Structure 1
Amino acid sequence: MSRLAETFARTRAENRAAFVAYVCAGDPDFDTSLEVCQSLLANGVDILELGVPFSDPLADGLTNQLAAQRALENGMTAARVFELVRRIREFSQAPIVFYTYYNLVFSNGVDAYVRQAREAGVDGILTLDLPPEEAAEMATACRKHEVGTVCIIAPTTPEARIETIAASTTGFIYYVSREGVTGVRDQVAANIPEAVARIRKHTKIPMVVGFGIGTRAQVAQVAAHADGVVVGSALVNAIKDNLGDRARIVATVGAKANDLARGARR
Structure 2
Amino acid sequence: MTRIDAKFAALKAEGKKAFVAYVMAGDPDYETSLEVVKGLPGAGVDVIELGLPFTDPMADGPTIQAAGQRALDGGMTLDKTLELARSFRETDDTTPIVLMGYYNPIYNCGVDAFLDKAKAAGIDGLIVVDLPPEEDEELCIPAQKAGLNFIRLATPTTDDVRLPRVMQNTSGFVYYVSITGITGAGEANAEDVAPDVARIKAATDLPVIVGFGINTPEKSRAIAGVADGAVVGSAIVSKIGAGKPVAEVLDFVRGLAEGAHSA
Q: Give the Cα–Cα distance (whole angstroms) in 2 for the partners of residues 82 and 229 of structure 1.
A: 25
Number of equivalences: 261
Contact kept? 1:22, 1:230, Cα under 8 Å: yes
1:118-133 paired onto structure 2 within 5 Å: 118-133=119-134
Q: What residue number does 1:201 align with?
A: 202
Q: What residue number does 1:174 align with?
A: 175
1:260 equivalent in alignment to 2:261: no
1:36 equivalent in alignment to 2:32: no
Letter in 2 for 1:211: F
Q: Give the Cα–Cα distance (whole angstroms) in 2 for the partners of residues 188 and 105 of structure 1.
A: 34
Following TM superposition, by how much is the alpha carbon of 1:130 offset from its aligned partner in structure 2, in angstroms? 0.5
Structure 2 length normalisation: TM-score?
0.96
Three-state SS of the structure 1 residue aligned to 2:112 is: helix
1:104-143 paired onto structure 2 within 5 Å: 104-143=105-144
Following TM superposition, by how much is the alpha carbon of 1:186 offset from its aligned partner in structure 2, in angstroms? 4.7
Letter in 1 for 2:34: L
Letter in 2 for 1:86: R
Following TM superposition, by how much is the alpha carbon of 1:163 offset from its aligned partner in structure 2, in angstroms? 1.1
Deviates more, 1:54-63 or 1:35-44: 35-44
Letter in 2 for 1:129: D
Q: What residue number does 1:8 align with?
A: 8
Q: Give the Cα–Cα distance (whole angstroms) in 2 for the partners of residues 255 and 192 of structure 1.
A: 27
Letter in 2 for 1:206: P
Letter in 2 for 1:161: R
Following TM superposition, by how much is the alpha carbon of 1:74 offset from its aligned partner in structure 2, in angstroms? 0.4
Structure 1 length normalisation: TM-score?
0.95
Which runs of at least 4 in structure 1 moved beyond 3 Å after TM superposition? 184-187
Unmatched tracts of structure 1, length 5 or more: 243-247
Cα deviations by residue, 1:142-169 (Å, 9 ceiling, x for unpaired): 1221000000100001211111111220
Q: Give the Cα–Cα distance (whole angstroms) in 2 for the partners of residues 114 and 153 of structure 1.
A: 24
Q: Give the Cα–Cα distance (whole angstroms) in 2 for the partners of residues 16 and 223 of structure 1.
A: 10
Q: What residue number does 1:245 align with?
A: none
Cα deviations by residue, 1:197-242 (Å, 9 ceiling, x for unpaired): 1111111011110001010010111111211210001111111112
Unmatched tracts of structure 2, length 5 or more: none
1:1-266 paired onto structure 2 within 5 Å: 1-92=1-92, 93-183=94-184, 185-186=186-187, 188=189, 190-242=191-243, 248-264=244-260, 265-266=262-263
Three-state SS of the structure 2 residue aligned to 1:171 is: coil
Q: Give the Cα–Cα distance (whole angstroms) in 2 for the partners of residues 179 and 187 of structure 1.
A: 10
Letter in 2 for 1:134: E
Contact kept? 2:39, 2:250, Cα under 8 Å: yes
